[in-house]
Amino acid sequence: MLEINELRKRFAGGPDAPGGKVALDGIGFTVRPGEMYGFVGANGAGKTTTMRIVMGVLQADSGSVSWQGRPLGYDDRQRFGYMPEERGLYQKMRVAEQIEYFGRLHGMAAPVAKKATDDLLERLGLTERKGETVQALSLGNQQRVQLAVALVHDPEVLILDEPFSGLDPIAVDALATVLQERCRGGVPVIFSSHQLELVERLCDSVGIVSAGRMVATGTVEDLRAAESNTLRVVVRDPAPGWADGLPGTVTVHGDRHTLRTAGGDDQEILRRAVKAGRVEHFGVEQPTLTEIFKEAVA
């Protein structure tokens, strides 16, 4: 289990923040083997700083990170896979050569690194680009190479800073499948993302960070259970003023009126809707991760 406990970090301030900038103010969460953990938060919330501390790129002012019950050390980190926010590839090196090279740096024997590289090239749709230099690739393909570099040595833990940003939908699916496989093999995976539908679809657990603090963490189901469900009613071409006095808000697209409400008498709302026009939809919906996120960081 990867345990992140009460991390605090203040950066030295500039002229506009002479007292320094508090980036992390007690961040903590745990990720179990085989768990996919989505780390979400607004720009500047502290996700990258947290991941950098986990990977030893930055030092926390206080707090700790442990892996399998022991403080995380250099040797452990060598067995982690990390995709940093600042992408770090050798621009003039060829794609396959580069991935193999990183595998070798992690101690893989040459034939093993080559096999793992070929496999990842195939999985991430890069086989046809294997002989090209990184600088000749589009940004999305460079991103795929960066991911292959993080995955090549069969890491024990994966820490990925916005791995899906800039990928086309085919590459998103390919990466999601690779990550799910690694997860099923017992690897804890943490990734940050602003693509909340993707996080909702892929992750077992989610941590929402705001201004350096965890404002929510748990399974998507737990986070949903803490929020109220919404009744959504869609009425086609209703009589004017049909929803006057009903709780909630009405949005209108063409002749389609949608009422959303978290309260009120559902049977009364249904009666009013049926009387007003043709009811196309009447149902209770759970909040999406985007709604949970907005509520948590408000």
User: Which residue ranges make up the site for ligand ATP (CB under 6 A)?
Assistant: 11, 21, 23, 41, 43-49
Q: 146: which 2 tokens?
A: 């960066």
In angstroms, give the least distance from the CB of 129 to ligand ATP.
27
Q: Which is nearer to ligand ATP, 21 or 232 (CB)?
A: 21
In angstroms, give the least distance from the CB of 39 to ligand ATP.
8
Cα gap 173→3, rounded to integer Å: 29
Q: Which is nearer to ligand ATP, 16 or 75 (CB)?
A: 16
Q: Which is nearer to ligand ATP, 87 or 260 (CB)?
A: 87
Residue 206: count of CB within 10 angstroms of its CB = 25
Are 34 and 219 in contact, with CB atoms under 8 Å apart? Answer: no
In angstroms, give the least distance from the CB of 277 to ligand ATP.
43
In angstroms, give the least distance from the CB of 50 to ligand ATP.
7
Query: Among the residues of the chain, which ranges form H helices?
Result: 47-54, 74-78, 95-105, 110-123, 139-151, 169-184, 196-202, 220-225, 266-276, 289-297
With DSSP H G I counted as helix, E B as strand and the rest as coil, what are the percentages for the chain, rounded to 5? 35, 30, 35
In angstroms, give the least distance from the CB of 189 to ligand ATP.
17
Q: Which is nearer to ligand ATP, 56 or 277 (CB)?
A: 56
Q: What are phi and psi of 131, to 5 degrees?
A: -95, 0
Q: Which is nearer to ligand ATP, 209 or 276 (CB)?
A: 209
The one-letter amino acid code at 203 reads: C
Residue showing tokens 């050798």: 90
Give the DSSP letter of residue 134: G
Q: Which is nearer to ligand ATP, 49 or 146 (CB)?
A: 49
Q: Which is nearer to ligand ATP, 126 or 203 (CB)?
A: 203
Are 45 and 102 in contact, with CB atoms under 8 Å apart? Answer: no
Torsion region of 99: left, alpha or beta (phi above 0 gives left; psi -120 to 50 gives alpha): alpha
148 closest CA partner among 158, 138, 156, 200: 158
Are 248 and 262 in contact, with CB atoms under 8 Å apart? Answer: yes
In angstroms, give the least distance from the CB of 81 to ligand ATP.
18
In angstroms, give the least distance from the CB of 293 to ligand ATP.
13
Q: Which is nearer to ligand ATP, 23 or 152 (CB)?
A: 23
In angstroms, give the least distance from the CB of 246 to ligand ATP.
38
Which residues, other chains included, contact 252 with Cβ-Cβ below 8 Å and sequence gap of 6+? 258
